[in-house]
């Protein structure tokens, strides 16, 4: 059924696991993700960015998700707006069938973030919709916003309690060292292991602990949580792509986060890599083929396999539906 995240988060918090929030942009992505969740009986969040709405159109995305809800009667699915930039976008999604919205005013001053978030919460709660807000600034690119490493900053734990009390938000995204996109860290920020691969700096679990102390029982969200699987980076590079030094968050770090107060883990870049790597390989190996179904089919299967792996080996939310 199409649900809010309230019940999902409560169970995830108490059960020491996290729900995967996967970005969707077209039918094959929706199908790959939901087939994995359905087979593994995993609760699921499908999220739509401003860019996704601009690309695929609000109605198409809502109807694709509604189709998935019908095809997957055994699991709860939430439809969430990712990085809502303003009240109007949030309102449009609340009025248009979403069960959850994020208002991302994290780049605004603290008082302004509170003011905007509170306004969204009031409208959302009046309509049975839940709200994710954000404190702190992740590095990386999302939609048209690019935050440089210098401009990014960790969440200040001393702000979280006042923020949640004043806004009434239902979950909080925090910055503890994750980052958006496929290039999360520069080589200079990393060390190298014996194989010569980049090893990123660990997440700031000390900051997470400080947040949890001030917000016991409150669901925390991690954005920018793709692991950038090197098998797909190699596949992209082997078949004509160029993604040097793409690096993500090690899965062990995410497993640790999933066991904690983190109830929602956002993954988009890994889906893009799986899809693009698979299509590049198919195109290179079958230069004669031109039926889109022939390359979208293995791409969809790659997404299903990736999401299955995340559900079982990283999030721990299999058989929690
Ligand atoms: O955080 C951003 C998500 O990966 C969505 O990306 O804005 O390019 O759709 P997008
Ligand atoms: P990634 O770029 O790490 O997949 O993060 C996605 C995200 O945070 C969507 O909001
Ligand atoms: Zn994000």
Closest ligand 2 atom number to CA of residue 248:
3
pLDDT at position 144 is 65
Cα separation of 280 and 278, whole Å? 6
Say if residue 132 carries a ligand binding annotation. Answer: no
Buried b (16+ CB within 10 A) or exposed e, 50-74: bebbeebebeebbebbeebbeebee
Pick from 46, 83, 152 the residue to mutate for probing ligand 1's pocket: most ligand atoms within 8 Å of its CB.
Answer: 83
- For residue range 170-223, list pLDDT tens digits in order: 999 999 999 999 999 988 899 999 988 889 999 999 999 999 999 999 999 999
Report residue 143's pLDDT band, with 50, 70 and 90 as the boundaries: low
Name which residue sits closest to atom 3 of ligand 1, judged by CA. Answer: 142
- For residue range 211-243, list pLDDT tens digits in order: 999 999 999 999 999 999 999 999 999 999 999
* 283 burial via Cβ count (<10 Å: 0-12, 13-18, 19+): middle
Say if residue 144 carries a ligand binding annotation. Answer: no
Cα separation of 186 and 111, whole Å? 32
Q: Kindly list the distances between the CA atom of residue 182 and the CA atoms of 219, 227, 229, 245, 263, in Å, as whole numbers in the listed order.
A: 26, 8, 10, 9, 22
Query: pLDDT exceeding 70 applies to what percent of the chain?
Result: 98
Q: Write down the pTM of the prediction.
A: 0.97
Cα separation of 9 and 18, whole Å? 8
More confident residue, 45 or 138: 45
Pick from 20, 25, 51, 57 the residue to mutate for probing ligand 1's pocket: most ligand atoms within 8 Å of its CB.
Answer: 51
Token code pair at residue 50: 């401003």
Say if residue 180 carries a ligand binding annotation. Answer: yes
* Structure-token match 């098998």, residue found: 231
- Structural domains of the chain sorted by starting position, each given as residue range(s) with its CATH number in brackets: 6-315 (3.20.20.70)
pLDDT at position 155 is 97
Ligand nearest to the CA of 134: 3
- For residue range 53-101, list pLDDT tens digits in order: 999 999 999 999 999 999 999 999 999 999 999 999 999 999 999 999 9
User: So which residues are the catalytic ones?
Assistant: 82
Q: Kindly list the distances between the CA atom of residue 227 and the CA atoms of 129, 182, 251, 261, in Å, as whole numbers in the listed order.
A: 30, 8, 6, 20
Task: Tell me if 83 CB under 6 Å of ligand 1.
Answer: yes
- For residue range 45-62, list pLDDT tens digits in order: 999 999 999 999 999 999
Query: What value does the mean pLDDT take over residues 239-264?
Result: 97
């Amino acid at each position: 059924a199409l649900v809010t995240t309230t019940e999902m988060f409560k169970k995830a918090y108490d059960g020491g696991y996290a729900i995967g929030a996967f970005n969707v942009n077209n039918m094959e992505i929706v199908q790959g993700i939901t087939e994995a969740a359905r087979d593994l009986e995993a609760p699921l969040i499908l999220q739509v960015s401003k860019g996704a709405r601009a690309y695929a159109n609000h109605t198409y995305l809502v109807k694709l998700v509604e189709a998935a809800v019908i095809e997957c009667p055994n699991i709860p699915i939430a439809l969430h707006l990712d990085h809502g930039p303003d009240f109007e976008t949030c309102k449009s999604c609340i009025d248009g069938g979403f069960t959850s919205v994020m208002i991302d005013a994290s780049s605004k001053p603290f008082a302004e973030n509170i003011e905007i978030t509170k306004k969204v919460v009031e409208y959302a709660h009046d309509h049975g919709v839940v709200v994710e807000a954000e404190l702190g600034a992740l590095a990386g690119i999302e939609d048209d916003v690019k935050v440089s490493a210098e401009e990014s900053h960790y969440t200040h734990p001393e702000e979280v309690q006042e923020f949640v009390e004043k806004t009434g938000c239902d979950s909080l995204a925090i910055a503890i060292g994750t980052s958006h996109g496929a290039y999360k860290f520069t080589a200079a920020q990393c060390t190298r292991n014996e194989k010569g691969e980049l090893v990123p700096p660990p997440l700031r679990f000390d900051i997470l602990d400080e947040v949890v102390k001030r917000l016991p029982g409150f669901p925390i969200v991690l954005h920018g949580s793709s692991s950038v699987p090197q098998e797909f980076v190699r596949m992209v590079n082997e078949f004509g792509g160029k993604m040097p030094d793409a690096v993500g968050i090690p899965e062990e770090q995410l497993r640790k986060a999933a066991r904690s107060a983190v109830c929602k883990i956002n993954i988009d870049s890994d889906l893009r890599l799986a899809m693009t790597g698979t299509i590049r390989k198919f195109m290179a190996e079958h230069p004669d083929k031109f039926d889109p179904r022939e390359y979208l089919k293995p791409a969809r299967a790659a997404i299903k396999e990736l999401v299955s792996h995340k559900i079982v080996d990283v999030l721990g939310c299999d058989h929690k539906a």
